[in-house]
Amino acid sequence: MRIKPKSPREALQPEQAPAPPQRSRHVRNPFVILINMVITLTVFGLAAVGAALYIGKHKFEEAGPLSKETTVVISSGAGLSGITSRLTAEGIIDDSVLDEWVFNLGIRFYKNATKLQAGEYAFAPGVSMQEIMNDLVEGKAVTHSVTIPEGWTTAQIVARVREHPILTGEITEIPEEGALLPETYTFARGTPRQEVLNQMKAAQVKLLTEIWERRVDGLPINSPEELVILASIVEKETALADERSRVAGVFVNRLNKKMRLQSDPTILYGLYGGEAWLKDRSAIKQSELKKENKYNTYQIDGLPPGPIGNPGRAAMEAVANPSRTQDLYFVADGTGGHVFAETYEQHQDNVRKWRKIEKDRRQAEESKLEPVNSN
């Protein structure tokens, strides 16, 4: 085949490009086009979801808008939507639709929508949505407390519980004298008053069981109930921790010798019951001492029929393990404590000293009240 030579002009002219190849019949298939479109949309959708999750997670964990510590009460049965509304109203979560959506979705993502607990919560400035969720799930509610002094009567304890503004409900069952353990008890807002009293009662039962098992041999008491009775008397006789065992030892020695306890507080309780110490009583009158009284340990042998208050741990421990002395008497020493004696003669001498202290104090008080002449 002969090749026809091209002139220089013809050689410089561009050759015509070949026609594009014809598309495959498979590519032109509508089903294939649909599949490609679905794949493309899926990729873009996954990318969008991933971006949304990343942004949502970041917002869920970042510091919130709260500028100062705020306390919020979450009521029982509020539900996730109700809780969200309460938090946005207090400014703990921003009230934008996006933030509410992120909070709700975040809690549902962690499967905690049904685990949020009611209560009173204190949120710190800048608290994040995740920290809010954790507090509500773990029930880290604000706790309040009530402190019951040792030796208080049940009437005094019930009055304090009834007056507490954070507790709710009526007291339906008044515990017996000596059935409650004086301590500090914590609780959340809205706790029923009866529940707190029941907690005090359960704590007393548990502690008394432990102390009774650790008691020393040879005590003149036959039951845990008698231990509480004697401990309630010890509690009223001294407020000094280092004296309780010695005071308990005096009463144990007297019971072993069949001597009457002769404890002044038992007189007051027998006459006035749980109201005996609601008023200041510096001294017992002769009329009160002589009045017939089944609790008066100047009149009866052994222990009174019941406790005269609710003793604390230390007083019960003192009765279970009293000091081993020969002391049979004690009287105030003028410094807030007592002086002890083994014999009646020693005791009488101590009583005379105490009466002189009282006389000197009265005279000093009277001298302060005398008018001063200004001639």
Do residues 80 and 177 share a domain? no
Last-in-domain residue among 154, 175, 209: 209
Does residue 216 belong to any structural domain of this protein? no
- CA distances from residue 24 to 21, 27, 37, 39, 290 in whole angstroms, order as listed: 9, 5, 18, 20, 123
Whether residue 149 is found in the same domain as residue 94: no
Co-location of 292 and 194 in the same domain: no
Q: How far apart are CA 162 and CA 172, in angstroms?
A: 11
Residue-wise DSSP of 271-319: HHGGGTTSS---S--HHHHHS--TT-TTTSSSS-SS-SS---HHHHHHH
Three-state SS annotation for 69-133: CEEEEECCCCHHHHHHHHHHHCCCCCCCHHHHHHHHHHHHHCCCCCCCCCEEEEECCCCCHHHHH
Q: Are 108 and 68 in contact (CB under 8 A)?
A: no
Same domain? For 86 and 177 the reply is: no
**161 shares its domain with 283:** no
Question: Does residue 278 lie in a domain region?
Answer: yes
Residues 174, 286, single domain; the answer is: no
Burial category of 159 from C-beta neighbours within 10 Å (exposed 0-12, middle 13-18, buried 19 and up) = middle
How do the pLDDT tens digits run along the chain, 375 residues long?
566 666 666 666 666 666 666 655 555 567 666 676 777 777 766 666 666 666 778 888 899 999 999 999 998 888 999 999 999 999 999 988 888 999 999 999 999 999 999 889 999 999 999 999 999 999 898 999 999 999 999 999 999 999 999 999 999 999 999 999 999 999 988 899 999 999 999 999 999 999 999 999 999 999 999 999 999 999 999 989 999 999 999 999 999 999 999 999 999 999 999 888 877 665 788 888 888 899 999 999 999 999 999 999 999 999 999 999 999 999 988 888 899 999 999 999 999 998 888 888 888 877 776 554 544
**304 within some domain:** yes
* Residue 75: partners with Cβ closer than 8 Å, 6 or more residues away: 82, 118
Q: Are residues 233 and 280 in the same domain?
A: yes
* Domain membership of residue 202 as a residue range: 143-209
**Boundary (domain end) residue, out of 138, 169, 189:** 138
Number of domains in the chain: 3
Q: Is 267 helix (H, G, I), strand (E, B) or coil?
A: helix
What pLDDT sits at residue 366? 75
The closest of 34, 282, 307 to 150, measured between CA atoms, is 307
- Position 354 scores a pLDDT of 86
Please choose, from the candidates 311, 353, 315, the residue with its C-alpha nearest in 3D space to the C-alpha of residue 332: 353
Q: In terms of domains, do 205 and 226 share one?
A: no
Tell whether 239 and 175 lie within a shared domain.
no
Give the separation between CA 233 and CA 134, rounded to whole angstroms: 49
- The answer to whether residue 47 sits within a structural domain is no
Q: What is the pLDDT of residue 374?
A: 44
51 within some domain: no
Does residue 259 fall inside a structural domain? yes
Domain boundary among 98, 123, 138: 138
For residue 109, tell me if it sits in a domain.
Answer: yes
Indicate if 231 and 184 belong to the same structural domain. no
